[in-house]
Amino acid sequence: MSDDNKVEALHMQPFPENPTLEQAVQMFAHHSCPMPLRRQALSILIGEKFLPKQADDPVVESGLWRLLQTAQAKSEASPVDRLMALAECVRFGQVVKRMAPMIATQLQPVFVNPLPALGMLADADDRLNVARACSAAPRGLPWLVWWLAQAIAEEETGEKARSEMLSSLLSRSESLQQAIELLVKAFSDLRPATELPGDSLARRLTRTLAILRSLILESEMPAGNGLGNALFELLVMPMDAVGKPDTEKVRLDLCEEALLTVHDAVRSRVSLVTDAQLYQVLAYCKRLCGGRAWPKQLDRPRRRLVADVSEALLLLGKQGRRDQPLLEQFSVLADSTQDAKAMAQALAYSHPELPEDVRDWLVHGRVRHLAQASVSVQEFASSNADGVLGLALGIGRSLGDLSQSIRQPLLDALEIYEPSLIYGTQQLFDKVRALTVLVDQVCGLRQLALHGELGQEVQFSVKFFDLADGAEPRQRMLVKQPAVVRLRPDRSPGEVLVRGLLE
């Protein structure tokens, strides 16, 4: 009897509710077995460890062929059966790994036309396997990215399926921005049929963001030019369509994931740290939480973002650049205006290497025009004189150290060989000491000081130092010439009058 006749001979109607292994083999291959029962039969074959060794059996091959035929786009099967057959083909390939490449090849025509909505499958494992099939689908399918975005938005509790679909969506998008914009549209079209649709939608967004931010850390794809606006719309547009969450915990969970998503985006892509637009979702989260003080649950992500904004301001500040929208994020992240000012001032006071105009901007929260033209001219002239005076201070201190080191040995030698020169030499050393004291006093009155000591190892800072000829920039370098600075009231280095040299 031929293999086809053997299969046709396995006529078992009605199909048993609790089939044995032998009956399960027959059910899996039978042409008229309903798709849910064929799925049940495959589960028995997998559970009894029958498949790995018997996958080449003609009866088993016949069952696999029927699954592949049912999944095809031209199949006469119902949409649900098509999706279930696709899921079962993937499951078969996971168990019989040697046949997985062949199954993947046979499934390629399935994706010629859009798949039915994934939500038709009640089982989360089935949805996961269909998502896995989509990950292996051909590239360049225009319908698939939108289908994936819709499936992600409609997914309720299947987090593995959501993760697989998000990973596939990112891999088929040109940028993070493009992928999130698709999610914005999909979530905005969603209308949960629940008593609290805002809560239901917020929970799905929370789960989506939790997976998305882990994928952002792993992915190397570009961010895109409008990632900040896309993240903002991902929360705002769906919530505006169905209403904000009613439950406080749901609101807090959503805001926590949104804040951490911004932080992880910054952490994984350094170029984003200075993009003020990326932080605009923070203000919306604060409004969701009441608009005043941040809840305690959000302290951890909020502190991380304060550090991110501080790093961004510091990075720009060292280049002499100021970004007012970025500075204003302190007002969003702080619980009060005073706290926001304290954050900015602490940043200014702890980084004396920042240019003075940047530090003043951080301290006062705005750009100030401090002097009129005539006063500016006077200050310029005074600064030049003070710079020369500061250089004299450096030379005077070096001269004082040198005279101190040779004074006694020189006088001892003169006492033996040239006693007549002892008095004049003593007078010379005394005059040098008096001159260095006078220069020190004048510099003190003018609030002048030297930054760095000759031969000292310091961190390279473009505010205070230039490189000596032939020197290569390094993180730590030796001072060849100290910088001349004007001290602030707190005695910390302020305005740089003459930049020093490092080697």
Q: Taking all residues of the chain, what is their mean pLDDT, rounded to a whole number?
A: 86
pLDDT of 121 reads 93
Put the strands of the sheet holding 483-487 in their side by side order.
448-451, 483-487, 493-498
pLDDT of residue 383: 56
Length of the chain: 503
3-class DSSP state of 2: coil
Q: In what order do the strands lie in the sheet with 476-481?
A: 457-459, 476-481, 500-502, 465-467
Element (H, E) at 228: helix 227-242
Q: How far apart are CA 184 and CA 149, in angstroms?
A: 9
Provide the whole-model pTM: 0.71
Per-residue DSSP letters for 435-470? HHHHHHHHHHHTTEEEES-TT-EEE--TTTEEEPTT
Q: Which residues, 6+ apart, have CB-to-CB distance to 113 below 8 Å? A: 73, 143
Band of residue 88 on the pLDDT scale cut at 50, 70, 90: very high
Closest CA to 151 of 139, 141, 161, 138: 161
Mean of pLDDT values over 92-98: 91
Residue 193 in 3-state DSSP?
Answer: coil
* Residue of 495, 235, 468 whose CA lies nearest to 352: 495
Residue of 241, 306, 316 lying closest to 271 (CA atoms): 316
Query: Rounded CA gap, 208 and 179, in Å?
Result: 12
Q: In which element (H, E) is residue 493 found?
A: strand 493-498
Mean pLDDT lowest for which of 45-49, 118-122, 365-369, 403-407? Answer: 365-369
- Kindly report the backbone phi and psi dihedral angles of residue 217, in degrees, each rounded to the nearest multiple of 5, phi listed first: -65, -35
d(CA 303, CA 334): 10
Find residue 450's DSSP bridge partners: 484
Q: Is 30 exposed, middle or buried (0-12, 13-18, 19+ CB in 10 A)?
A: buried
Q: Which of 300-304, 480-484, 497-501 reaches the highest mean pLDDT? A: 300-304
Minimum mean pLDDT range among 220-229, 329-338, 367-376: 367-376
> C-alpha 126: how far from its chain's center?
32
